[in-house]
Amino acid sequence: QVQLVQSGAEVKKPGASVKVSCTVSGYTLTEFSMHWVRQAPGKGLEWMGGFDPEDGETIYAQEFQGRVTMTEDTSTNTAYMELSSLKSDDTAVYYCAREVGFYASGSTSFDTWGQGTLVTVSS
C-alpha cells in the first residue's frame, strides 16, 4: 500500500526557515518524482516545485525560486521541502504528492498525497 507520511505541524517566526519531511512506503522514492503543493487557509492549491526526470533536475515555481529547496534521502525513502525567509503569507498546509508518469511521456498526475503539514508563520 502506497503511503506518504509527513512531519508534524510547525510554528515559525517571520524570517525563519522550515523543513517538512515526507516519508514514503509501498514503493521506492526514486521510482517516481515527488512534488510539493501548498494551500493557504481557505485558498486553493498552489504548485511549488518537483523533480523533472526529463532534465534530472528539480524545478521550482518562479514565486519560490531562491527561497525553496527540495531534496531527497534515498536511504530513508524521505523527501524534504525547506522554505526560508518565511513570511506570514507562507502560512499554509504543505503537501507532498507523488507524480505518476511525467509530462514528456504524455501522461502525468499526482496520484498519492501526504496528509499535509500545517506551517504557521507568526511573530
Partner 1 sequence: QSALTQPATVSGSPGQSITISCTGTSVDIGSFDLVSWYQQHPGKGPKLIIFDVTERPSGVSIRFSGSKSGNTASLTISGLQPDDEATYYCCSYTSASAFYVFGAGTDVTVL
Question: Residues of 71-97 as b/e, b for ≥16 C-beta within 10 angstroms?
Answer: ebeeeebbbbbebeebeeebbbbbbbb
How many CA atoms, within 13 angstroms, populate the side-chain half-sphere of residue 92? 21
| Residue 1 binds to partner 1 (criterion: CB under 8 A) | no
- Which CB atom, from 107 or from 123, has the smaller least distance to partner 1? 107
**Minimal distance in Å, beta carbon 91 to partner 1?**
17
Cα–Cα distance list, 113 to 65, 67, 77, 117 (Å) = 23, 23, 15, 11
Q: Does 70 interact with partner 1 (rule: CB under 8 A)?
A: no
Count of other CB atoms within 10 angstroms of residue 30: 11
Q: Shortest Cβ distance from residue 123 to partner 1 (Å)?
A: 27
Considering only residues 84 to 123 of the shown chain, the ones binding partner 1 according to CB under 8 A are: 95, 97, 100, 103, 106-111, 113-116
DSSP state of 115: -
Residue 44 touches partner 1, criterion: CB under 8 A = yes
- 52 is an interface residue for partner 1 by CB under 8 A: yes
Residues forming contacts to partner 1 in the complex (CB under 8 A) are: 35, 37, 44-47, 49-50, 52, 59, 61-62, 95, 97, 100, 103, 106-111, 113-116
